[in-house]
C-alpha cells in the first residue's frame, strides 16, 4: 500500500489560501482537492513528480472536480501546486515531500536482492572420511596406520549473480486500489450482479477488475452513471449476462452494450435489486455528477 506525505502546515499555508480564493471554494474543499490529486498521482507520476501521459481532464477527474477542468488546472499552476517545464507538468516539490516513501521502496527492493544473493551462496557441509592405509615395515610385517589427512576443497559455488542495477523508483508498481475506492466498489458490484445469475461464480481478483474500471473512467471517459447503467443492464439481459463475466469484457463490449440497451423492459431499471452493501456509490454519484463526461 502506497502513501503520501501531508504536512500540518497545509492548513494555513499561503498557497492554500490562494487556491481556495482562486477556485472560489472553501479551505476544506481546497485541501481535499489537493489530497485527492496527490493520492492519484502516486500511480501516475515518477519520483521527480512529472505527471506521465495525463491530461488536464485526467487531473480534474482525479480531484472529482465538477467544474471546468481548465479552470482547476490554471489555478493549480498559478498558485504554485503544479509547475510547467518544457511542455511537461510537475507536482511542485513532489520528490522532497515524498522522499520517505521512495526510500522505503528502495530499501525493500535491496533487502529482496540481498536475500536472493544469500540464498544462492549458501553451501552444504560435506563430511570427509579419513582413509586407512596398510604398509609393510622393514621386517615384512604389515602395519596399519592412518595416512595423512587430506581434505579436498569444497566445490566452488556457482558464480553469484551480478548485482541488480540500481532500482528505478519511477517504475515501482504502486497501483493498488484502496478498499473504499470507487473502482473497487464498482468491481464488487459487478461481481454481486454476476452472483445473482450464478451463485457459484468464482470470486475474481478485484484489483484487476478495478484497473479496468479505472481505464473506463480515465481513458475511455465513461461516466459513473453510464458504467453502472450498462453493467446492471447487461447482467439482466438474457444473452449478455452469459458473456459479460469480467470488468475487462465489460470495457471491451461497452459501446456494443450501450447500443443494445432499451429504454423499457426487464433491464430498463438498473437500480433493481442492486446490493445494499454498495450504497457508498450513491455518494460518489452525487460528488461526481456532471464531472465526468
Give the pLDDT confidence of 175-232 residue by residue, as tens digits: 578 888 899 999 999 999 999 999 999 999 999 999 999 999 999 999 999 999 999 9
For residue 75, give the nearest of 18, 6, 113, 126 by alpha carbon.
Answer: 18
Domain boundary among 62, 97, 132: 97
Pairwise pLDDT comparison (280 vs 119), residue with the higher score = 119
Pairwise pLDDT comparison (221 vs 164), residue with the higher score = 221
Classify residue 125: in a domain, yes or no. Answer: no
Q: Where are the beta strands (DSSP E) in the chain?
A: 82-85, 88-91, 132-136, 142-146
pLDDT of 165 above 60: no
Classify residue 151: in a domain, yes or no. Answer: no
Q: What confidence score (pLDDT) does residue 213 get?
A: 94
**Helix or strand or coil: residue 242?**
helix
For residue 82, the tally of other CB atoms under 10 A from its CB is 21
How many domains would you assign to the chain? 2
Arithmetic mean of pLDDT, 14-36: 91
Arithmetic mean of pLDDT, 105-110: 74
Q: What gap in Å lies between CA 173 and CA 193, rounded to an integer?
A: 30
Look-up: residue for cell 481505464? 215
pLDDT of 159 above 70: no
Q: What gap in Å lies between CA 81 and CA 251, rounded to an integer?
A: 34
Q: Are the C-beta atoms of 69 and 60 separated by less than 8 Å?
A: yes
Classify residue 225: in a domain, yes or no. Answer: yes
Q: What gap in Å lies between CA 186 and CA 197, rounded to an integer?
A: 17
CA dist 253 to 107, 244, 283, Å?
A: 43, 8, 27
Classify residue 92: in a domain, yes or no. Answer: yes
Scored b (16 or more CB within 10 A) or e, 229-249 reads: bbbbbbbbbeebbeebbbbbe
Classify residue 74: in a domain, yes or no. Answer: yes
Q: Are the C-beta atoms of 144 and 138 separated by less than 8 Å?
A: no
* CATH number of the domain residue 68 falls in: 1.10.10
Pairwise pLDDT comparison (47 vs 244), residue with the higher score = 244
Pairwise pLDDT comparison (136 vs 2), residue with the higher score = 2
Pairwise pLDDT comparison (161 vs 81), residue with the higher score = 81
Cα-Cα-Cα-Cα torsion 210, 211, 214, 218, nearest 10 degrees, comes to 180
Classify residue 132: in a domain, yes or no. Answer: no
Q: pTM for the full model?
A: 0.38
Q: What confidence score (pLDDT) does residue 278 get?
A: 47
Percent of the chain with pLDDT over 70: 67
Arithmetic mean of pLDDT, 264-280: 46
Instruction: Please list the residues that pair with 132 across neighbouring strands.
Output: 146
pLDDT of 141 above 80: no
Classify residue 251: in a domain, yes or no. Answer: yes
Q: What confidence score (pLDDT) does residue 281 get?
A: 59
Q: What are phi and psi of 192, to 5 degrees?
A: -65, -35
Domain boundary among 42, 65, 97: 97
Domain range spanning residue 237? 182-288
Instruction: Let me know whether 280 and 187 are in one domain.
Output: yes
Domain boundary among 59, 82, 97: 97
Classify residue 152: in a domain, yes or no. Answer: no
Amino acid at each position: 500500500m502506497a502513501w503520501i506525505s501531508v504536512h500540518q502546515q497545509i492548513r494555513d499555508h499561503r498557497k492554500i489560501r490562494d487556491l481556495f480564493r482562486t477556485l472560489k471554494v472553501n479551505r476544506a474543499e481546497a485541501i481535499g482537492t489537493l489530497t485527492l490529486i496527490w493520492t492519484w498521482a502516486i500511480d501516475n507520476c515518477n519520483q521527480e513528480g512529472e505527471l506521465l501521459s495525463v491530461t488536464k481532464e485526467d487531473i480534474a477527474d482525479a480531484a472529482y472536480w465538477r467544474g471546468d477542468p481548465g479552470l482547476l488546472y490554471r489555478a493549480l499552476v498559478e498558485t504554485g501546486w503544479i509547475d510547467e517545464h518544457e511542455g511537461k507538468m510537475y507536482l511542485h516539490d513532489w520528490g522532497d515531500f515524498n522522499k520517505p516513501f521512495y526510500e522505503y521502496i528502495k530499501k525493500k527492493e535491496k533487502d529482496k536482492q540481498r536475500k536472493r544473493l544469500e540464498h544462492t551462496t549458501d553451501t552444504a557441509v560435506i563430511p570427509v572420511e579419513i582413509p586407512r592405509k596398510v604398509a609393510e615395515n622393514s621386517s615384512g610385517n604389515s602395519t596399519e596406520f592412518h595416512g595423512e589427512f587430506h581434505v579436498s576443497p569444497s566445490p566452488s559455488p556457482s558464480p553469484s549473480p551480478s548485482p541488480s542495477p540500481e532500482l528505478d523508483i519511477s517504475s515501482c508498481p504502486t497501483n493498488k486500489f484502496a478498499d473504499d475506492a470507487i473502482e473497487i466498489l464498482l468491481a464488487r458490484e459487478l461481481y454481486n450482479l454476476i452472483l445473482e445469475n450464478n451463485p457459484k461464480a468464482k470470486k475474481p481478483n478485484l484489483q484487476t477488475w478495478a484497473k479496468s474500471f479505472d481505464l473506463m473512467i480515465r481513458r475511455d471517459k465513461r461516466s459513473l452513471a453510464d458504467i453502472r447503467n450498462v453493467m446492471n443492464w447487461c447482467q439482466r439481459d438474457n444473452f449478455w449476462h452469459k458473456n459479460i463475466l469480467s470488468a475487462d469484457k465489460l470495457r471491451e463490449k461497452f459501446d456494443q452494450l450501450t447500443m443494445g440497451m432499451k429504454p423499457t423492459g426487464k433491464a430498463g431499471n438498473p437500480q433493481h435489486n442492486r446490493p445494499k452493501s454498495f450504497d457508498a456509490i450513491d455518494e460518489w454519484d452525487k460528488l461526481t455528477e456532471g464531472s465526468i463526461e
